[in-house]
């Protein structure tokens, strides 16, 4: 309805100036030359009324088109970001962050410029151009033909510019993306750059990307400098041709002076829109190139999605089975037909050298990827048969390097459970020791955390992430090397918090410290995507095999083995203390 109304407004707005010039013709031929003051007065009144109406129509049209354009941009940006959130981790690992940011920012901004301002120019001038051509033939078809002789070379020139400028502006978008990606990488890694004295090297890389952007933009502007003056020159040629032809017809008495004067003004209405459309053309080409880049994102199909007929996952027990699963990121397999069964409420630890497939296994359990062969089953259901959102609401993840968002400590704890009350957040903070962190700051849990958790130690960030997972109350927990690179006092706090977090939940622990894996019901040693040894902590340590050799290399092994059962309960066997993960029932 809104588009239809704007179309009607556009047609009326474009017809108004042409109608006004037809009135000018009547005023000259039948008012001035006939000395008819009444006719002249009526024509003047009609001329003013038509132009007043044109002003109202055009103002309304401009506002309507600008709002329509912004609504389109708003919807596009929302759809683009929403689509990005559905793409798998594989997509984000293959694309640079800066490239993705450029799609959401500079590319959408290029479309916004066209739709908010250029759309008005495009619609108004296109309709004006068509109305002016019709007006020329209404005034005198011979002058209309003279003016239109110039159109074929104009169309040829426009087609040449379209082909050249599209390729040029596509390269402009590519160089902008490359520069944005380089900036994003440099900002993220600034500490490393400065630590290794690589500022000049990265500055040279930025200069190279910046210069490439300058060159592509210069070439695009060079094309504009050829096209736009040529359009203006063709307009001058058309005007000269009309004056010459009109003068001859006027001398022969086959044309009135009013018709010639009005036709000259209408011709201006032909080439003025052409010039403005030519100015807009480069902007449209840039927006077209931007849209082409955006389309590459929108056309990317999510690898992980709900299968047809996927059922909503009700509260799960957490019985987890990895059934003959194989997986590869590319051609080379990372996992080779592994079989794992974790009973509901039990704890499984994965250990092994880097690259063994531990984190990949955890990502498959989180359904960040789907296995190439085999299946991941929860409570007997293939994850692919469960609704993804309802399953992940019952999944908790604690990473080695947890990410904290800009906001308060409380906001970060509440991240996975936005409806949680302040009292619930405070209780969880006390349970895992985050209240000790908060006491360092005047505003406590309302202390503002910078993006990434800058200003907090690795251990403090880890405790906050554990509190976040505990508040979410997941049925399945993935704990990925979350105690590596942390000092021993902080590790003790995290281990105590971990006891609270693991209680009654199915959990998978990937760890480099014995203190963490000792609590597991079963430990799996993974090497090159295969399970080479499995058993309890004590049984594996007593047996000859890769775990015993690995134990001597695990970080913090000596300190972990010295921790008494009173400080850190040994829960790796069936003789776990009551303070450990003894219950398989939810808290």
d(CA 112, CA 343): 53
φ, ψ of residue 533 to 5 degrees: the values are: -160, 145
**CA Rg value for the chain:** 36
How many residues are present in the chain? 587
In 3-state terms, what secondary structure has residue 536?
coil
Q: Within a 13 Å sphere around the CA of 252, how many CA atoms are in the beta-carbon half?
A: 7
Q: Are strands 476-480 and 506-510 parallel, antiparallel or unpaired?
A: parallel
Residues of the chain with pLDDT under 50: 555-587
Query: Which bin fits 528, alpha (ψ -120 to 50), beta or left (φ > 0)?
Result: left
64-77 pLDDT per residue, tens: 877 877 788 888 88
Q: What is the pLDDT of residue 197?
A: 77
**481-508: burial string, b at 16+ Cβ within 10 Å, e else:** bbbbebeeebbbbbbbbbbbbbbbbbbb
pLDDT tens digit string along 262-294?
888 888 777 777 767 766 776 777 777 788 888
Residue 20, both tokens? 């006004």
Domains, in order of start, for the chain: 2-298 (1.20.1560.10), 401-473 (3.40.50.300)
**The pair of three-digit structure tokens given for residue 10, joined into one six-digit string:** 């556009």
Q: Which residues contact 445 (CB under 8 A, 6 or more apart)?
A: 408, 409, 410, 413, 425, 426, 429, 434, 435, 438
Burial (Cβ within 10 Å: 0-12, 13-18, ≥19) of residue 31? buried
Q: Identify the pLDDT of residue 572.
A: 38
Q: Please give the model's pTM, rounded to 2 decimal places.
A: 0.62
**Strands (E) located in 454-513:** 476-480, 506-510
Angstrom distance (rounded) from CA 409 to CA 448: 7
């Amino acid at each position: 309805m809104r588009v239809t109304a704007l179309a009607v407004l556009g047609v009326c707005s474009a017809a108004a100036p042409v109608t006004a010039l037809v009135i000018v013709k009547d005023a000259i031929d039948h008012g001035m030359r006939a000395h008819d003051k009444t006719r002249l007065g009526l024509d003047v009144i009609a001329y003013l009324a038509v132009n007043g109406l044109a002003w109202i129509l055009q103002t309304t049209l401009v506002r309507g088109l600008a709002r329509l354009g912004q609504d389109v941009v708003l919807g596009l940006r929302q759809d683009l970001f929403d689509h990005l959130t559905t793409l798998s981790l594989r997509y984000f690992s293959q694309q640079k962050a800066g490239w993705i940011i450029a799609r959401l920012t500079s590319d959408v901004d290029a479309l916004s410029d066209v739709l908010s301002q250029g759309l008005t120019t495009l619609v108004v001038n296109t309709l004006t151009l068509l109305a002016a051509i019709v007006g020329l033939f209404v005034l005198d078809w011979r002058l209309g033909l003279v003016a239109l002789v110039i159109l074929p070379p104009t169309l040829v020139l426009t087609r040449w510019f379209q082909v050249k400028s599209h390729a040029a502006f596509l390269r402009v978008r590519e160089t902008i993306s490359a520069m944005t990606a380089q900036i994003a990488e440099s900002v993220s890694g600034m500490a490393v750059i400065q630590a290794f004295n690589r500022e000049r090297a990265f500055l040279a890389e930025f200069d190279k990307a910046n210069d490439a952007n300058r060159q592509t933009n210069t070439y695009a502007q060079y094309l504009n400098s050829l096209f736009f003056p040529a359009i203006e020159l063709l307009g001058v040629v058309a005007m000269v041709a009309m004056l010459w032809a009109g003068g001859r017809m006027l001398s022969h008495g086959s044309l009135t002076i009013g018709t010639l004067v009005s036709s000259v003004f209408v011709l201006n209405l032909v080439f003025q829109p052409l010039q403005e459309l030519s100015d807009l053309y480069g902007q449209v080409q840039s927006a077209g190139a931007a849209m082409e880049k955006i389309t590459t994102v929108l056309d990317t199909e999510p690898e992980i999605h709900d299968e047809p007929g996927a059922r909503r996952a009700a509260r799960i027990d957490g019985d987890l089975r990895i059934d003959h699963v194989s997986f590869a990121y590319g051609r080379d397999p990372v996992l080779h037909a592994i079989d794992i069964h974790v009973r509901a409420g039990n704890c499984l630890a994965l250990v092994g050298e880097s690259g063994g497939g531990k984190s990949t296994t955890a990502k498959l359990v989180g359904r960040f990827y789907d296995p190439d062969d085999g299946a991941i089953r929860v409570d007997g259901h293939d994850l692919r048969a469960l609704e993804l959102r309802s399953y992940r609401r019952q999944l908790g993840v604690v990473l080695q390097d947890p990410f904290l968002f800009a906001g308060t400590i409380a906001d970060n704890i509440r991240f996975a459970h936005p409806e949680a009350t302040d009292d619930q957040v405070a209780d969880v903070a006390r349970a895992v020791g985050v209240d000790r962190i908060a006491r360092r700051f005047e505003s406590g849990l309302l202390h503002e955390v910078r993006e990434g958790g800058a200003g907090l130690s690795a251990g403090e960030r880890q405790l906050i992430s554990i509190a976040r997972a505990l508040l979410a109350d997941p049925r399945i927990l993935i704990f990925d090397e979350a105690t590596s690179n942390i000092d021993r006092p902080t590790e003790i706090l995290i281990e105590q918090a971990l006891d609270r977090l693991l209680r009654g939940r199915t959990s998978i622990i990937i760890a480099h410290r014995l203190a963490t894996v000792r609590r597991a019901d079963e430990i799996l040693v993974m090497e090159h995507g295969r399970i080479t040894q499995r058993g309890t902590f004590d049984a594996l340590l007593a047996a000859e095999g890769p775990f015993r050799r690995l134990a001597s290399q695990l970080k913090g092994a000596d300190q972990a083995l010295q921790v008494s059962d009173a400080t850190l309960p040994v829960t790796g066997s069936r003789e776990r203390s009551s303070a450990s993960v003894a219950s398989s029932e939810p808290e």
